[in-house]
Amino acid sequence: MSDRPADVLVRNAKVFTVDDARPAAGAVAIGAGSISWVGDDGEARAHAGPATIEIDAAGHTVMPGVIDSHDHVRLGQDPEAIDLHGVRTAAGVRDRITSWLADHPGAEWVEGEGVAYEAAEGGGLADLFDATATGGRPAFATTYDVHNAILNRAALERFGITRDVDRVAFGHVEKGADGAPTGVIHDFAVMGLERAGQAALAAVVPAYSDDRRYQRLLHSLDLAIGFGITTVVEPQNSVDDLPLFERARREGRLRSRLVAALFHPPRTPDEELDAFADAATTYGDDRFRAGPIKLYIDDVAEAHTAAFFDPYAADPSTNGELFYEPGVFAGVMAKLDARGFQTFTHAIGDRGIRTALDAIEHVQRVNGRRDARHQLVHVECPDPADVPRFAQLGVVPCMQPRHFAPDVALQWRDDVGPERSRWAAPWRSLARSGARLAFSSDWNVAEMDPMVGIYTAVTRADLRGDGAWNTDETVDLTTAIRAYTMGGAYANHVEDRRGSITPGKQADVIVLSEDVFASEGEPMALLETRVDVAIADGRVEHQRDHTG
Ligand SMILES: [Zn+2]
């Protein structure tokens, strides 16, 4: 116990510490950026002084700040583009464009985000943005998973994409039966986010200008702290993107801690690894750290580009593909591991997941086993035989509960088919096998609000409470919160100083608007739960306005 009075004292609380040494408490004292005391409410007053900020939690849950282990704050949401998330019909997309154009009559481009595949209704995605819809303007949009870009005819012309062009810097050009480009650009999540891809986009599409990119980041960062996310892991960046975060920090806009993973696309030259290592040295503190390396072994199920052993149920002609030959991938991973990098590998299909796990096993054989905590990200459909390998190899599954809500996974289930769907996002099986789950939002592919993720993890239902499926793989509330706190801390090598409310740890603490354990039997209450106060690094960074 320290002698000096607390800077911040949170009282009258149901503290869920996520610390097994003392799971519950009534009050928390914070001083000099750290948690100085955790105890009973009756003893809290002794820690207050005249300058102490007292927060009355009104009997609600107080928990560690959320660690969102996969949150695309940099890509985020462009407040100036048309938000098409959740619009599932062609007519709905056209309505949004029409009303957006009514508000932006001078717009030179139509830019959209979050296009649902089913909105094409069997037609072409680019038809949603044809000249009738856009008034002849060029249109650029991305699919909800950011894995494909959509260009209408006028935009194809701006980029000079004709039937003779198979590849541009930001992706592969899809062709129709007649050999003409359809307007869909594949592999956007990989190539569109590489340096060259970003530069090619910035030269043509307004949304990729530096200023728009910065505004987009700020928008996401403000959302994050409001959702109680005190540590954000931005999973995919080039070295050139890092000054954007540094600018936010300098301008006082980085109110959460941020870890920026560096993107390693296939065929990344070795010199780039030197640049990654330099970046990790330049940005290496507890507010902003760069360094984990993001790779892809496969892509996404909805585009039939995630790698499975057996063909897709919706298209028996393909079982997806790997971005690397397994032996090549194992070599790449061994090289990264030998240089001390932690890796995050996007792995979705059963074959993609096995290939990545095999690579990590190879790494441990050739480099020796170290406390690397390599992650597989998404882990959407492992073969059951691979589930125990996460714990055995010490691999962290970084997963996104909301992707497996029935309303979101509709097409996924058709594509993958009922048999394999039993192993869709097997959170409970992984947790039982001893794997250390890290949960995350995957904003802006899904809602950033961790309560949505926690709710989905405990229900596997939609946001109305309907359609629950594969409920054998739900987890309980404690496990879900742990995966968003200590699980994330472990996944990011900071469990010694973050992830639980423990004296001596960094003071990242949030106060909720409910007692979430009191309504554990009524998960819908989670969706009504807000973050009243977010404290990061001992400072009150967010306080909810109750007047609205
Ligand atoms: Zn993602």
Q: How far is the CA of 146 from the centre of ligand 1 (A)?
A: 8
> Which SS3 state, helix, strand or coil, does residue 307 take?
coil
Taking the C-alpha atoms of residue 209 and residue 445, their distance in angstroms, rounded to an integer, is 22
Establish if 202 belongs to a structural domain. no
Taking the C-alpha atoms of residue 232 and residue 282, their distance in angstroms, rounded to an integer, is 19
- Note whether 311 and 338 are same-domain residues: yes
- Note whether 279 and 386 are same-domain residues: yes
Strands of 229-237's sheet in order across: 66-68, 229-237, 257-263, 288-296, 343-347, 375-378, 396-399, 438-439
Determine the number of helices (DSSP H) and then strands (DSSP E) in the chain: 18, 25
Cβ atoms 438, 498 nearer than 8 A: no
Taking the C-alpha atoms of residue 408 and residue 241, their distance in angstroms, rounded to an integer, is 30
Residue 433 one-letter amino acid: S
Name the residue among 297, 491, 304, 295 with its Cα closest to residue 386.
297
Name the residue among 2, 7, 5, 6 with its Cα closest to residue 539.
7
- Note whether 26 and 170 are same-domain residues: no
Establish if 311 belongs to a structural domain. yes
Is the Cα dihedral 73, 75, 80, 81 positive or negative?
A: negative
Taking the C-alpha atoms of residue 473 and residue 457, their distance in angstroms, rounded to an integer, is 8
Establish if 330 belongs to a structural domain. yes
Name the residue among 346, 416, 412, 414 with its Cα closest to residue 383.
416
- Note whether 300 and 370 are same-domain residues: yes
What are φ and ψ of residue 58, in 5° steps? 55, 35
Q: How far is the CA of 108 from the centre of ligand 1 (A)?
A: 29
Number of domains in the chain: 3
Asked if omega into 492 is within 30° of 0 (cis), the reply is no
- Note whether 15 and 40 are same-domain residues: yes
DSSP string, 372-411: ---EEEE--S--GGGHHHHHHHTPEEEE-GGGGSTTTSHH
- Note whether 407 and 259 are same-domain residues: yes
Q: How far is the CA of 30 from the centre of ligand 1 (A)?
A: 34
Consecutive sets of 10 residues in the chain, 548 residues long: mean pLDDT of each? 84 98 98 98 97 97 98 91 94 97 95 94 94 96 92 97 97 96 93 87 93 94 98 95 96 98 93 96 97 96 94 97 98 98 98 98 97 98 98 98 95 95 97 98 94 98 97 98 98 98 98 94 95 98 80
Q: How far is the CA of 243 from the centre of ligand 1 (A)?
A: 21
pTM: 0.91
- Note whether 339 and 252 are same-domain residues: yes
Establish if 127 belongs to a structural domain. yes
Q: How far is the CA of 400 from the centre of ligand 1 (A)?
A: 9
Cβ atoms 323, 190 nearer than 8 A: yes
Taking the C-alpha atoms of residue 233 and residue 258, their distance in angstroms, rounded to an integer, is 6
Taking the C-alpha atoms of residue 317 and residue 2, their distance in angstroms, rounded to an integer, is 67
Using the structure block, give the residue that is written with the tokens 């009524």: 522
Alpha-carbon torsion angle 222, 228, 230, 236, nearest 10: -60
Q: How far is the CA of 340 from the centre of ligand 1 (A)?
A: 23
Name the residue among 444, 463, 442, 443 with its Cα closest to residue 452.
463
Establish if 332 belongs to a structural domain. yes
Establish if 227 belongs to a structural domain. yes
Establish if 204 belongs to a structural domain. no
Q: Which domain holds residue 525?
A: 8-64+504-543
Q: How far is the CA of 159 from the centre of ligand 1 (A)?
A: 26
Q: Which of 491, 512, 529 is the last residue of a domain?
A: 491
Q: How far is the CA of 331 from the centre of ligand 1 (A)?
A: 24
> Which SS3 state, helix, strand or coil, does residue 95 take?
helix
- Note whether 358 and 225 are same-domain residues: yes
- Note whether 445 and 539 are same-domain residues: no
- Note whether 125 and 94 are same-domain residues: yes
Q: Give the domain CATH number at 226.
A: 3.20.20.140
Alpha-carbon torsion angle 142, 144, 148, 149, nearest 10: -10
Q: Give the domain CATH number at 511.
A: 2.30.40.10
For residue 145, the model assigns a pLDDT of 84
Q: How far is the CA of 183 from the centre of ligand 1 (A)?
A: 23
The CA–CA distances, whole Å, from 110 to 136, 157, 313 equal 10, 15, 35
Strands of 181-186's sheet in order across: 82-83, 110-115, 139-143, 149-151, 181-186, 171-175, 167-168
DSSP H helical segments within 106-252, as ranges?
Answer: 131-134, 153-159, 188-191, 195-202, 210-226, 242-250
Q: How far is the CA of 235 from the centre of ligand 1 (A)?
A: 7
Q: How far is the CA of 3 from the centre of ligand 1 (A)?
A: 45
For residue 519, the model assigns a pLDDT of 84
Q: How far is the CA of 104 from the centre of ligand 1 (A)?
A: 30
Q: How far is the CA of 145 from the centre of ligand 1 (A)?
A: 8
Establish if 430 belongs to a structural domain. yes
Taking the C-alpha atoms of residue 129 and residue 140, their distance in angstroms, rounded to an integer, is 9
- Note whether 391 and 246 are same-domain residues: yes
The CA–CA distances, whole Å, from 195 to 114, 200, 245, 349, 521 equal 22, 9, 16, 27, 48
Taking the C-alpha atoms of residue 36 and residue 25, their distance in angstroms, rounded to an integer, is 14
- Note whether 404 and 533 are same-domain residues: no
